[in-house]
């Protein structure tokens, strides 16, 4: 999918295709384009391209979420980019580790799904993508 200059980009470091479909479906109601990535380099490149939000699956063993967070936070131009991570509610420690590594907001998967449309809409409006009810 090629990004259009007039549509804000949300980067999704998500490898579950069904869940990625759910994110893309939610994005239809927001003026954003979802760009799926699977590597740290692709995430950083997409973020440098003007992304407003990065969504990260913290549970995937196949995705480099920790390395990607480190790379985003090490880049001065991306250090303040909103990064929302989601995880299984039984993996609360994973959420705490992500916050310590620089994830702006972490949510159990069920809360993320409930707040997804709001997060995407905020990113589309030019906000940081934060949701006031989110825990960070």
Is 1 within a domain?
A: no
Cα 11 from Cα 86, distance rounded (Å): 14
Provide the domain limits for residue 90.
9-124
**Which residue do the tokens 């009810």 mark?**
133
**Rg over CA atoms, the chain:** 13
pLDDT recorded at residue 96? 84
- The mean per-residue pLDDT over the stretch 5-21 comes to 91
pLDDT recorded at residue 135? 39
Is 21 within a domain?
A: yes
Is 33 within a domain?
A: yes
pLDDT tier for residue 6 given thresholds of 50, 70 and 90? confident
Is 85 within a domain?
A: yes
pLDDT recorded at residue 2? 47
pLDDT digits (tens, 9 = 90+) for 40-83: 999 999 999 989 999 999 999 899 999 999 999 999 999 999 99
Is 84 within a domain?
A: yes
Query: What number of residues does the chain have?
Result: 136
Total domain count, the chain: 1
In this structure, how many other beta carbons lie within 10 angstroms of the beta carbon of residue 100?
9
Helix H segments across the chain? 17-27, 40-48, 65-74, 92-101, 109-124
Is 134 within a domain?
A: no
Is 87 within a domain?
A: yes
pLDDT recorded at residue 32? 94
Put simply, whether the predicted model's pTM sits higher than 0.75 gets the answer yes
pLDDT recorded at residue 31? 86
Q: What percent of the chain has pLDDT over 90?
A: 71
CATH classification of the domain holding 30: 3.40.50.2300
Q: What value does the mean pLDDT of the chain take?
A: 87
Is 130 within a domain?
A: no
């Amino acid at each position: 999918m090629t990004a259009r200059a007039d549509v804000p980009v949300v980067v999704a470091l998500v490898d579950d295709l069904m869940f990625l479909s759910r994110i893309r479906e939610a994005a239809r109601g927001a003026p954003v384009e979802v760009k799926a990535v699977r590597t740290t380099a692709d995430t950083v490149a997409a973020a440098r391209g003007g992304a407003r939000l990065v969504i990260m699956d913290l549970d995937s063993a196949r995705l480099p979420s920790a390395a990607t967070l480190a790379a985003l936070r090490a880049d001065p131009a991306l250090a303040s980019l909103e990064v929302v991570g989601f995880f299984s509610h039984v993996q609360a420690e994973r959420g705490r580790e992500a916050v310590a590594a620089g994830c702006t907001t972490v949510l159990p998967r069920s809360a993320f799904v409930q707040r997804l449309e709001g997060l995407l809409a905020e990113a589309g409006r030019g906000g940081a993508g934060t949701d006031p009810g989110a825990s960070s």
